[in-house]
Structure 1
Amino acid sequence: MEQLEAAQADNAATPLTSRQRRARTVARLAAVQALYQMELAGAGVEAVIKEFRDHRFDSDIEGNVLAEADEDFFAEVVRGVVADQAAIDGAVRKRLADNWRLDRLDATLRALLRAGAWELMRREDVAVEVAIDEYVELAKAFFDAAEAKFVNAALDGVARDAGR
């Protein structure tokens, strides 16, 4: 993943440093967690963003400092998914088998797909390969190979549908 990002930085006009790329990776993971939390707890977008900024970023777990996150990118992804959820869900729904509904997917998988689809649909400065690779790697952290392959195929389809 790091090599792909080094070869194709998120922002083609201004390549990201290694530190900035890692901070975006952490932001993507946090965005997936925030979207999951919002769906299960029914929490509002601004409350969840504030909670992450106040209590999760720049903190430690059992003495281990968490990696730095791009907090602005995190907030943009979370707000963007919420604002564009109908369009995002429609794009993801097109990638499901005919007999599947989006609400039948695991909540974490929905959050991954929504965040990835939002980036592919709304952030043309983020390279398609980078966005897909990041969310596939996150899927591997939560699921087995079958779900990671599904995330790859679904997000690839969303990117093509978005003309990218």
Structure 2
Amino acid sequence: MADTDGAPSKPLKFDAKGRSAARMAAVQSLYELDMVEGAIDPVLRTFIEKRWTVPIEDEDGDEVGEAEFNDPDKSFLIELVRGVVARQGEIDECLQGALGDKWTVERLEVLLRAILRCGIFELMTRTEIPAKVVINEYMDVANAFFSEGEPKMVNGVLDKLAHVLRDGKLT
């Protein structure tokens, strides 16, 4: 299950180039935008400047420094967030088609919806990235936040759409 503040509840794996970190930050940014209905640029600025470090405390609880994650690829992060927001109607239409009659986009948990929107945007626009890579990356994001069936749902929905959006090519 996801933490209520949108923070991952499990350790994360990030690639050396920062794309995995950018995907994680994009999902969290979209979560925040959906929850507080804020403006894109201040949310992105906060994620780029402040949210990618964690305070380190000593045994007395005093802050003694900061641990840093791999930096997200900033241009990729911005592309993902702005792209999802700009094409949200088209993305949600694809998502609704993949969900079928039992679910609606609005009924999805906010974080799960953000993960799927990012994955769909990437499948639509970043055709140089193999669909398998996109699907695996967003499954990793889902696994960082959820422990139930949500990662399987991410896999199923993105796999289904990859076959449609990429003419059946997953490589």
What TM-score results when the alignment is normalised by the length of structure 2?
0.79
Hey, what's the Cα distance between the residues in 1 that align with 2:112 and 2:162?
17
Counterpart residue number, 2:51: 56
* Residues 121 and 158, structure 1, Cα contact 8 Å, conserved in 2: no
Is 1:33 paired with 2:36? no
Is 1:158 paired with 2:135? no
Partner SS, residue 95 of structure 1:
helix
Is 1:68 paired with 2:77? no
Cα shift readout 1:2-34 (whole Å, capped 9, x = no counterpart) = xxxxxxxxxxxxxxxx621xx101100000000
Cα shift readout 1:80-108 (whole Å, capped 9, x = no counterpart) = 00011011011111111312111111000
Hey, what's the Cα distance between the residues in 2 that align with 1:124 and 1:118?
10
Amino acid in structure 1 at the alignment position of 2:75: D
Alpha-carbon deviation of 1:56? 2.2
Is 1:91 paired with 2:85? no
Aligned length: 144
Alpha-carbon deviation of 1:138? 1.0
Alpha-carbon deviation of 1:144? 2.2
Higher helix proportion, which one? 1
Gaps of 5+ in 2: 1-14, 57-65
Correspondent of 1:42 among 30, 37, 48: 37
What is the alpha-carbon root mean square deviation over aligned residues? 1.4
Correspondence 1:4-153 to 2 at 5 A: 19-20=16-17, 23-57=18-52, 59-62=53-56, 63-153=66-156
Hey, what's the Cα distance between the residues in 2 that align with 1:54 and 1:38?
17
* Residues 123 and 134, structure 2, Cα contact 8 Å, conserved in 1: yes
Hey, what's the Cα distance between the residues in 2 that align with 1:135 and 1:69?
15
Gaps of 5+ in 1: 1-17
Amino acid in structure 1 at the alignment position of 2:78: A
Structure 1 residue runs of 4 or more that deviate by more than 3 Å after TM superposition: none
Query: Percent identity of the aligned residues?
Result: 38
Alpha-carbon deviation of 1:66? 1.9
Greater radius of gyration (CA)? 2
Alpha-carbon deviation of 1:145? 4.5
Amino acid in structure 2 at the alignment position of 1:19: A
Alpha-carbon deviation of 1:48? 1.2
